[in-house]
Amino acid sequence: MQYSRLRLPWKRLKKGQGFFVPCLDFEKMRQHGLSRAISMRILDAQATAGIKDGVAGVWFFRKPSTRPGAPPR
């Protein structure tokens, strides 16, 4: 799989939101997704391997705001 061809929706995510990418090589996908987030200056990005609806993959998400009542960025 060519990870460089994937379009990851980092720019559209607000804090506390995420997306799932089905894949077989969790570590390679996790590294690629997080490096793309950092290149877009999204420093609160995180990733975890898991299963969603019976499909293995990586869940990428932005950490929720730690300040109560803080507006989303």
Ranked by mean pLDDT, which of 5-9, 10-14, 57-61, 69-73 comes out on top?
A: 57-61
**What CA–CA distance (Å, rounded) separates 8 from 43?**
15
Render the burial of 16-25: b for 16+ CB within 10 Å, e for the rest.
eeebebebee
Half-sphere exposure for 53 (CA within 13 Å, toward CB):
4
The model's pTM is 0.83
**pLDDT one-digit tens code per residue, 1-52:** 677 788 999 999 999 999 999 999 999 999 999 999 999 999 999 999 999 9
Quick one: pLDDT at residue 49?
A: 96
Element (H, E) at 55: strand 55-62
